[in-house]
Amino acid sequence: MERLQRHGGTAGYVSAFCLLVLLILSFGVPGTGATYADPARALAQIAGDRWLWRLSNLAGILASGLAVVFTIGLWVRLREPAPARATVVLYLAIIGLGGYALSGFVLWKGGLAMASFLVRDQVAATHAWLALDFMARGAADVGNAFVGTALLIVGWAIADTGALSRRVGWLAGLTGIMTLLVIRPFASVVEILQVLLTIVWLAWAGSELRKA
């Protein structure tokens, strides 16, 4: 079980790195606002740099997958001092991370497909892209809801039991609040702050798990 915790801690590090890559690459790809304002231009931008689009979504999918391993390590650490909360966190996080992964996959494949279709029928491509983007954002919001709730519970469990540093628990709670907040559309600076907090949380909690 100690090995699972250490592997979970390592996965937390790598997941944080993938999220950082996603954040950096996201400045070069069209976001939700750009898509809704001018979907044809957003698709043209995707078509113009397909590899950037692939890499940005791949980074998000990898971050989600590795976060599952991280969550399992966290569950191992918490299952003795807070068994019920540890199990709830595990289930909530896996559902939420599945939502993130689905969102990334839909954007990756859907964006490339519609970018290729744009030259043949711009109207149909833009309408289909808006529908796909809406579905992907819905999946991401499911991820935010479940992961945000899981973070609040894990923050409570850590602060209550001291299974990890209590400051890590408070950070988890703050990150959970920010994750729930971004379900509603806010300025991009709020979303960037939420991602940065998540990166710090994954890396710091990963470091704590590595000490097992």
Q: Which of the pair, 12 or 32, is modelled with greater confidence?
A: 12
Whole-model pTM: value is 0.91
Q: In the predicted model, is pLDDT for residue 183 greater than 70?
A: yes
Alpha helices (runs of H) in 49-121, residue ranges in sequence order: 50-78, 83-117
Residues 6 or more apart whose CB falls under 8 angstroms from that of 128 comprise: 110, 114, 117
Report helix angle 83-117 to 122-161, nearest 10: 160
pLDDT at 116: 85
pLDDT at 9: 92
For the chain, what percent of residues have pLDDT higher than 70? 94
CA angle in degrees (0–180, nearest 5) for 1-157-88: 70
* Rounded Cα–Cα distance for residues 184 and 167 (Å): 27
Domain count, the chain: 1
Contact 175, 152 (CB under 8 A): no
Range of the domain at 143: 2-210
CA angle in degrees (0–180, nearest 5) for 182-12-133: 35
Q: In the predicted model, is pLDDT for residue 8 greater than 60?
A: yes
Q: In the predicted model, is pLDDT for residue 156 greater than 60?
A: yes
